[in-house]
Amino acid sequence: MNNRNRLSTFSENNSEKIPGKSVEETAGQWLENSRLRLKESSYVKYRNILKNHILPELGQTELRQLTTDHVSAFIRQKLTEGRRDGKGGLSVRTVRDILSVLRNTCSYAKQHDIDVPCHFELLKFRRSEEETRVLDRRESAVLERFLMKDDNPVKTGILMSMYMGLRLGEVCALKKESILYKEEILQIRFTMQRIQAPDREEKRTKIIVTEPKTGNAIRDIPIPAPMLGRLWTLDHMPGEAYILTGRPDKFIEPRSLENIFKRYLRECGLPEINYHALRHTFATRCIESGFDVKSLSEILGHGSVNITLNRYVHSSIEQKRKNMGKLHLT
């Protein structure tokens, strides 16, 4: 049975019957039982992880054979040679997602009195040592001057990520009605993303605009003074218009905005970085300017200050030198 046919059986046995003892049967029942509480994008993501990574290698494995060593070897293989094109290993983030789906499947099995010998708490692997690129102050100034040359609304959206740490999907989904000029507040309520059509509609993928995955990402951000003047250039737009286009019937999707951003970088003579680096740069500048971490965490929409510190704050060599200059041993 190929992987597509395996997945087609997921919804056939969604009852109170005890799940089957294979990873495939149990994963299918777990996914369908979770479908109502999952966002559409999460459902599609988990389904693809099962189809592309878990079922081909572990689908027919009996749960009682799923030992810690077995899962550990599976994870190591994914890290070193897990890409479907055969060109190396998957990213640490992707492998963490795979492990999370497998862990949830086994937790579901245990709830139905099926023994799974794997101890997931023992499965540890190091975070990728590759640090996310952050713009230095000279690069930030070059990019900012370029974006400020005219009132292009796309450039305004990119500036909002630089000054307020907005995610790519949040900028694409942002409408003019979310700018509260009098209160000097920007409301983040939605995000945009392209996902695979869950039921294989006419198009293989589609754009969705939904609430963010977590409640913390729904937030109000004070608009800093340098951005407030820029946002007044959008005041002529109707409230329901997307800020990147000025129209309610036309948007720019995340993949397109990423490509526009990279073209701007080339025009500035700056090295290529991904759009998310703007968010990392914003967080780093905030810490360097003395922000308290709790406020920064809420501005970024994080669930805890640990996420902010561990993932989004990067000390420059200048900041390290400045801190070392404060050292007095006597």
What are the backbone angles phi and psi of residue 242, rounded to the nearest 5°? -70, 135
pLDDT per residue as tens digits for the range 20-36 = 589 999 999 999 999 98
pLDDT per residue as tens digits for the range 237-256 = 999 999 999 999 999 999 99
Residues 118-130 have a mean pLDDT of 73
Contact 271, 184 (CB under 8 A): no
Closest among 310, 270, 41 to 300, alpha carbons compared: 310
Q: What is the rounded distance in angstroms from the CA atom of residue 136 to the CA atom of residue 128?
A: 22
pLDDT per residue as tens digits for the range 245-304 = 999 999 999 999 999 999 999 999 999 999 999 999 999 899 888 888 899 999 999 888
- pLDDT for res 310: 74
Q: What is the rounded distance in angstroms from the CA atom of residue 221 to the CA atom of residue 167?
A: 13
Higher confidence at residue 209 or residue 312? 209
In this predicted structure, the answer to whether residue 202 has a pLDDT above a threshold of 80 is no
Contact 137, 284 (CB under 8 A): no
In this predicted structure, the answer to whether residue 19 has a pLDDT above a threshold of 50 is no
In this predicted structure, the answer to whether residue 42 has a pLDDT above a threshold of 50 is yes
Task: Using DSSP, state whether 185 is helix, strand or coil.
Answer: strand
In this predicted structure, the answer to whether residue 326 has a pLDDT above a threshold of 70 is no
Percentage of the chain beyond pLDDT 90 is 60
Structure-token pair, residue 20: 């089957």
In this predicted structure, the answer to whether residue 116 has a pLDDT above a threshold of 90 is yes
Residues 64-93 have a mean pLDDT of 89
Structure-token pair, residue 88: 């190396």
Global confidence as pTM: 0.74
pLDDT per residue as tens digits for the range 190-199 = 999 998 876 6
In this predicted structure, the answer to whether residue 179 has a pLDDT above a threshold of 60 is yes
Ordered structural domains, the chain, with CATH: 3-122 (1.10.150.130), 137-323 (1.10.443.10)
What is the number of alpha carbons within 13 Å of residue 19 lying toward its C-beta? 29
Could you give the C-alpha distances from 305 to 17, 128, 144, in angstroms and in order? 42, 20, 28
